[in-house]
Structure 1
Amino acid sequence: MSTLTEPVAWEGTSSDPMDEQFGDIVESADLESANGYDVVLVGEPYDGGVISRRGAAEGPSAIRDALAAVKTHHFDVGPVDGIADLGDVEIPAETEAVAEVQETIRETTTSVHALDALPVFLGGDNSLTVPNVAPLLEQGSVGVLNVDAHLDVRAARDGPTSGTPYRQLHEAGLDAYACIGARHFETSSTYHDYVRENGGTVVTTAEVSDDLVAAVDRALSGLDSVDHLYCSVDIDVLDATYCGCSAPTPGGLLPRELFQLVRLVAADERLAGFEVVECAPPLDAEGRTVDAAARTIAHFLAGWSA
């Protein structure tokens, strides 16, 4: 049975007392006290499902450190607040298969989704999108917006991986799927056909760059029919210049495009969860990816607060 570790104490890093940072306003909480907050952060330090280069298990800690130093003020909405940290999900032993890890962690994410607060999961690899979304499937129709360079609908032939979550979720009853930020030459025709045959929507990086608002609208229009919306950001959606992860490639989004994108998505009233996955600090250059991941969360929270 998976549980949550003791949350870390957050602390701002600025010497100026007027510089309110996330480190100053994020409070520690547990499942019993979490309903007093608007948003709860949950770390998932696991990368056993990564297909190629590992390192995402160090993501939650690094993202927290980076976010603690980010100021809380957004020019359009003012300061962000009402956030608690529940700590990390306790990860089963490395010897356990990914499918078993997914099932064990689902016990904790089910409790997190039962809260009134919106869960924001700090990954960790993309394989844990399955237990992060699965509890919602019992609460009504669900759609996932996958902000990602890849479709991640591989068949789980030898067990689940970070490339299989959306096929797994579709087979478990996911009602709708859209990928925004997909890159040409980063997926096979077979997997694109799978998404198309199952009514999914694919919006490319080029479309985002041409007209970001229209691209987000098109992605969300493919999810119009669902009651609950979950948004997953795989940090490899960013261009390789900014991307320390298992599979960085050129031609991705700029950070400011990602920031605006998540702010727009956060305004959707059906939103039931958010995650940032595949941030791998050991593969990062000068902390650029970790900083981008932390600010992606900050911009999402600003959109949610608006």
Structure 2
Amino acid sequence: MSELTAPPEWGGPSADPNDEQFGDVIEGATLASAGDYDAVLVGEPYDGAVIGRKGAAEGPAAIRRELAETKTHHVERGPVASVGDLGDVGIPDGGVEAVQSAVRETVTAIYDADAFPVFLGGDNSLTVPNAAPLLTDGTLGALSFDAHLDCREVRGDPTSGTPYRQLHEAGLDAFAVVGARHFETSTAYHDYVAERDGRVVAPEVVERDPKAAVDEALDSMGDVDSVYVSLDLDVLEASAAPGVSAPTPGGVTTRELFEMLGHVAAHDRVAGFEVVECAPPLDDGFRTARVAARAVAHFLSGLEAAR
């Protein structure tokens, strides 16, 4: 099992005593205390499996920095309060399979602590160890907000483009992708998803009604016991999130994404959440890290309101 590093010291940078920021409410946590919070942050500084441009290993630190200065108050749901931070998963040397195996052991211990993890990535290959432990406790659906389907065949080592193929081979029961682009994923992979009764919800469907788009994806999963939610930031329009491995035009807006995350977090079957592919070296003025932090804030707000 990979060790968890000590969590960082949190603090809100605002000098206004009336400002409450996430840096003021997030606390360092341990596996023993993780279940006491509505959610715990877990950093995964890794980009060894990226197909395109690297940089996501620096994502966790950048997301934490931007989250620390984000205010806790949601206009409709009020303030977020119950969040811990377990630190970062230590990434071992070796190939992608070895990394996935080591991370899975650590993630299993987090779920065993009765914690709700929010993983700060890191690249999309770690979706496999982040979600796979949930397969041992019943049926599982994966809801992916992504421009791509990420179900390529594994040829040699896994990549950031293979996680959902790996999860299907491990027994994933249901799969839906919200925000997948036209002209971004080949026909063979769309056929792979369709043959397994997966659902693909395009950006124009999201535009018409973001909450209905999420409900369509969840309804397609039937009565699975748990749902794992993954956010690849390239689901956003490239101008909103330039600091990702594969930015493309035609994506969803930040407002649509935030509405969908707050909505999906309130569903009682959701058991884990991740934000992946935030690559600060590729970013423009911290734009992508900032939107990643707001995405986490919106998800946490929906999660706390439902508990």
Structure 1 runs of 4+ with >6 Å offset: none
Q: Show CA shifts across 1:164-185 (max 9, x none).
A: 0000000000010000000000
What is the 5 A alignment of 1:29-48?
Answer: 29-48=29-48
Q: Deviations over 1:57-78 (max 9, x none)?
A: 0000000000000000011111
Contact 2:35 2:116 in 1 (8 A): no
- Counting only pairs closer than 5 Å after superposition, residues 1-306 of structure 1 correspond to structure 2 as 1-93=1-93, 96-243=94-241, 244-306=243-305
TM-score by length of 2: 0.98
Aligned positions, number: 304
How big is the alpha-carbon RMSD for the aligned residues of Structure 1 and Structure 2? 0.7
- Counterpart contact for 2:121–2:278, Cα < 8 Å: yes
Deviation at 1:224, TM superposition (A): 2.4
> Within 1, Cα distance between the matches of 2:114 and 2:222?
23
Q: Which amino acid aligns with 1:103?
A: S
- Per the TM alignment, residue 114 of structure 1 is displaced from its structure 2 partner at its CA by 1.2
Distance in 2 (CA, whole Å) between partners of 1:126 and 1:92 is 17
Q: Distance in 1 between matches of 2:295 and 2:188?
A: 31
For the 8 Å contact 2:149–2:180, the answer to whether it is kept is: yes
Q: CA deviation at 1:20?
A: 0.3
The one-letter code matched in structure 2 to 1:147 is F
Q: Is the 8 A contact 2:104 2:132 kept in 1?
A: yes
Q: Which amino acid aligns with 1:263?
A: G
CA distance in 2, matches of 1:169, 1:133: 8
Counterpart Cα distance in 1 of 2:222 and 2:64? 33
Kindly state the Cα deviation for residue 260 of structure 1 after the two structures are TM-superposed: 0.3
Structure 2 SS opposite 1:182: coil
> Whole-Å Cα distance in 2 between the matches of residues 270 and 42 of structure 1?
20
Give 1:16's aligned amino acid: D
TM-score (normalizing by structure 1): 0.98
How many Å apart are 1:213 and its aligned residue? 2.2
CA distance in 1, matches of 2:100, 2:175: 20
The structural deviation recorded for 1:210 is: 1.9
CA distance in 1, matches of 2:63, 2:113: 23
Structure 1 spans left out of the alignment, 5+ residues: none
Partner SS for 1:240: coil
Instruction: Name whichever of 223-232 and 20-29 sits farther off.
Output: 223-232
Query: Is the Cα contact below 8 Å between 2:50 and 2:160 reproduced in 1?
Result: yes
Deviations 1:62-103 (A, max 9, x none): 00000000000011111101100000000012xx11011101
Structure 1: distance between partners of 2:222 and 2:272: 17
Worse-superposed segment, 173-182 or 114-123: 114-123
Structure 1 residue 214: deviation in Å?
2.0
Query: What's the CA shift for 1:211?
Result: 2.1
Query: 2:219 and 2:176 mapped to 1: Cα distance?
Result: 9
Give identity over the alignment, percent.
Answer: 62
Q: Which deviations, in whole Å up to 9, do the C-alpha atoms of 1:209-252 show, x marking residues without a partner?
A: 12222211111111122000110000000111012101001111
Deviation at 1:117, TM superposition (A): 2.5
